[in-house]
Amino acid sequence: MKAIVKAVLLAALLAGGAGAQVAPPPRVDHHMHIFSPEGSRVLNLICKALGPGGCPPQRSNAPATGEDVVEALDAAGIGRGVLLSGGYFFGSPEIADQAIDVAKGMRAENAFIVAEAAAHCGRLIPFISVAPSAASALDEIHYWGRKGGAAGLKLHLGSARFDFRDPVQTARLAALFKAAADEHLAIVIHMQTRRKDYGAQDAAIFLREVYPFARGVPVQIAHAAGGGGVDEGELAALGAFADAIARDPRGTKSLYFDLAMVPDLFANEGKIPATPAHVAALEAIMHRIGLNRFLLGSDYVLGLDLKAYFANARAALALSDADWRALAGNVAPYVKSATCKSSASKP
Closest CB to Zn ion among residues 183, 299: 299
Residue 168 CA to residue 166 CA, distance in Å, equals: 6
Closest CB to Zn ion among residues 17, 53: 53
Closest CB to Zn ion among residues 127, 177: 127
Closest CB to Zn ion among residues 202, 299: 299
Smallest separation, CB 97 to Zn ion (Å): 25
The residue at minimum Cβ distance from Zn ion is 299
Smallest separation, CB 15 to Zn ion (Å): 29
Residue 242 CA to residue 38 CA, distance in Å, equals: 40
Smallest separation, CB 34 to Zn ion (Å): 11
The answer to whether residue 140 forms part of the interface with Zn ion (CB under 5 A) is no
Closest CB to Zn ion among residues 231, 299: 299
CA nearest to 207, candidates 246, 179, 180: 246
**Phi–psi pair at 101, nearest 5 degrees:** -80, 100
- Residue 253 C-beta-side C-alpha neighbours within 13 Å: 6
Smallest separation, CB 127 to Zn ion (Å): 11
Beta carbons of 240 and 191 less than 8 angstroms apart: no
Tell which positions 282-311 bind Zn ion, by CB under 5 A.
299
Closest CB to Zn ion among residues 5, 267: 267
Closest CB to Zn ion among residues 116, 299: 299
H/E run at residue 256: strand 255-258
Smallest separation, CB 299 to Zn ion (Å): 4
DSSP 53-86: TSS-TTS------HHHHHHHHHHHT--EEEEEP-
Size of the site for Zn ion (CB under 5 A): 1
Smallest separation, CB 297 to Zn ion (Å): 8
Closest CB to Zn ion among residues 200, 238: 238
Residue 187 CA to residue 174 CA, distance in Å, equals: 12
Residue 202 has a CB neighbour count (10 Å cut-off) of 25
Smallest separation, CB 342 to Zn ion (Å): 29
CA nearest to 335, candidates 298, 296, 301: 296
Smallest separation, CB 64 to Zn ion (Å): 14
Smallest separation, CB 21 to Zn ion (Å): 31
- Which amino acid is located at 325 in the chain? R
Closest CB to Zn ion among residues 12, 335: 335
C-alpha torsion sign, points 221, 151, 92, 29:
positive
- Which amino acid is located at 339 in the chain? T
Smallest separation, CB 100 to Zn ion (Å): 21
Closest CB to Zn ion among residues 29, 299: 299
CA nearest to 176, candidates 195, 189, 161: 189
Whole-number Cα distances in Å, 137 to 110, 161, 173:
12, 16, 10
Helix intervals (H) in the chain: 2-15, 37-50, 66-76, 102-118, 137-147, 167-182, 200-205, 232-247, 276-289, 306-316, 321-329, 333-336
**Residues interacting with Zn ion, by CB under 5 A?**
299
